[in-house]
Amino acid sequence: MQFDTLGLSPRLITALNDQGITDPTPIQTQAIPHAMAGRDVMGLAQTGSGKTAAFGLPMLDALMKNGRKAEPKTPRALILAPTRELARQIHDTLSAFAQGSHLKLALITGGVGFTPQIERMSRGVAILVATPGRLVDLLDRRAVDLSKTEFLVLDEADQMLDLGFIHSLRRIAGLLPKQRQTMLFSATMPKLMEEIAGAFLTDPVRVQVNPPGQAVAKIDQWLHYVAKGAKTDLLIELLDKHRDELAIVFGRTKHGSDKLARQLEAAGYAVAAIHGNKSQGQRDRAIAAFREGEVRVLVATDVAARGLDIPGIRHVYNYDLPNVPENYVHRIGRTARAGADGTAVALCSPDEMGELRDIEKAMKAKIPVASGAPWEGVSEPAARPGANRGGKPRQGQGQGRPAGQGRPGGPSAGQQPSRRPAQVGAPGGKPAGQKPRRPAAAPRRRTTAA
């Protein structure tokens, strides 16, 4: 199927062709016809599946056909996204599609001053892309009026719930007119999503392309069991094998991400870090340098797990495994964009065995092992999402060692992932069948947050 068979206007088809986009993705093929017919849509699809065009193209088509001028403070369409990075990506993508038309777009997110955003809204915009928190701030200042909004989109709705935006969403819902078209897109479907769907959608059509929690098929995944103190050395060994390619490294904490970025910079890498403590300008400059190849390695927290759409990212490293299992899929979804191939490597220390089990349970698949073996003596279940954000080992964890290994780190700790998992030998890296040495004392735990 081609875009011109979906009923879109010739102007939009030309805009797509100018950007080299000719074939719709599965989520676009399923969602666009329903949206063009005016139906509410609930879409389940992973990041990188083309959701922005799935909801953006039919919305732009309807707004272009109606030449009504935008009124001050009153957007005709509202798109909500959980993070600044995703909001900016949506804004930039739709701006390219709408180039040359009468439609004006505005981006409203935190990290910048209120005055320029208030002035922008006063001049009138057709499409407002916003994060919920900053939108509520402008509503409180009476800088935005949603009483005449005709289209509403909730993108990555599950992450908005994870980030605690439920109260903001409820308030926004009460200010919108009942007669509108609403589209909700999410990568997972938690129970609370049913409440959100009931509050925002009317008789929606449900479309789904990938089962929730399933990673993109073209991502080659590998797992290293490695002691926490050996993670940085292993990461540098792996990065050295593709210094000319873009890689993103995910850490758990802001402080740990800054520390890791400094270590990689000392090792000779062009590196930048982004996280919640960085200003919007710092985050934008870091991403721009990464996109242009001036920076080859981007160290980030989960603020970049969704919304970072850079086709050139070939490698994703989970330096720290995420507390929320679903975020693993979103993290590795930064690679293998637009049909390309990509590699995702996870580093698992003893205190992360619970997170690893939860991730594999959510994906309903095991991650192939590249080196090391599962850590022994770690049987506690993972903490509740968000309960271990400080990065410290949970009580009773961090004292294990790989099954059959004489010391933490396992054999060939810097082994490059291959298409076939490495064969782990006997304890201490000796050939299978050789008598193992007496086990060493349990290693002292490293408590530095990563």
Measured distance CA(136)–CA(401) in Å, rounded: 49
pLDDT band, very low/low/confident/very high, at 295 (cuts 50, 70, 90): very high
| pLDDT given at position 410 | 37
Give tens-digit pLDDT for 422-433.
333 333 333 344
Domain boundaries along the sequence of the chain: 3-208, 219-427
Mode of pairing for the β-strands spanning 246-250 and 205-208: unpaired
What mean pLDDT is predicted for residues 159-177? 88
Residue 125 has pLDDT above 60, yes or no: yes
Topology of domain 219-427, CATH: Rossmann fold (3.40.50)
Q: pLDDT: is 67 or 301 the higher one?
A: 301
CATH of the domain spanning 3-208: 3.40.50.300
Question: What are the backbone angles phi and psi of residue 286, rounded to the nearest 5°?
Answer: -65, -45
pLDDT at residue 294, rounded to an integer: 94
Task: Reply yes or no on whether the pLDDT at 334 is more than 70.
Answer: yes
The yes-or-no verdict on residue 412 having pLDDT over 70 is no
Span 338-378, pLDDT tens digits: 667 899 999 999 999 999 999 999 888 999 999 999 987 65
pLDDT interval class at 212 (50, 70, 90) = low
CB 115 within 8 A of CB 137: no
What is the pLDDT, as a whole number, of residue 415?
Answer: 43
Q: Examine the pLDDT at 215 and tell me if it is beyond 70.
A: no
Q: CA–CA separation, 125 vs 123, rounded Å?
A: 7
Q: How far apart are the first and last CA of the chain?
A: 46
Report phi then psi at 127, rounded to 5.
-125, 125
Degrees to nearest 5, angle at CA 374 with 373 and 379: 165
Structure tokens at 124: 């009138």
- Provide DSSP, 95-158: HHHHTTSS--EEEE-SSS-HHHHHHHHHT--SEEEE-HHHHHHHHHTT----TT--EEEE-SHH
Domains 3-208 and 219-427 share a fold: yes
Helix (H) or strand (E) holding 87: helix 84-98
**Predicted local distance difference test score (pLDDT) of residue 87:** 94
Q: At residue 403, does pLDDT exceed 80?
A: no
CA distance 261 to 270: 9
Residue 213 has pLDDT above 70, yes or no: no
pLDDT of residue 335: 87
Strand, coil or helix: 285: helix
Which stretch of 161-175, 212-226, 323-337 has the lowest confidence by average pLDDT? 212-226
- Per-residue exposure over 283-309, b if at least 16 CB sit within 10 Å of its own CB, e if not: bbebbebbbeeebbbbbbbbbbbbbbb
User: pLDDT-derived band of residue 126, with 50, 70 and 90 as boundaries?
Assistant: very high
Q: How many CA atoms lie within 13 A of 179 on its CB side?
A: 1
pTM for the model: 0.65
Please determine, for residue 285, whether its predicted confidence score (pLDDT) is greater than 60: yes
d(CA 53, CA 59): 9
| Higher-confidence position of 322 and 407 | 322
- Give the tens place of pLDDT for each residue, 5-44: 898 999 999 999 998 888 898 999 999 999 999 999 999 8
Q: What is the DSSP letter of 74?
A: B
Q: Mapping DSSP to helix (H, G, I), strand (E, B) and coil, where does residue 311 land? A: coil
Give residue-wise pLDDT tens across range 241-279: 999 999 999 999 999 999 999 999 999 999 999 998 888
Give the span between the Cα atoms of 205 and 35, in whole angstroms: 9
- Other Cβ atoms within 10 Å of 167 Cβ, number: 10
User: Pick from 293, 303, 214: which is nearest to 250 by CA?
Assistant: 303
Q: Which residue has the tokens 């780190």?
A: 409
Label residue 333 by pLDDT band (50, 70, 90).
Answer: confident
Looking at per-residue confidence, does 218 or 85 come out higher? 85
The mean per-residue pLDDT over the stretch 280-299 comes to 91
**Helices H, strands E: what count in the chain?**
14, 14
Residue 50 token pair: 């083309």
Q: Locate 411 and state its tokens.
A: 């054999």
Q: What is the mean pLDDT of residues 294-306?
A: 89
Q: What is the mean pLDDT of the chain?
A: 82
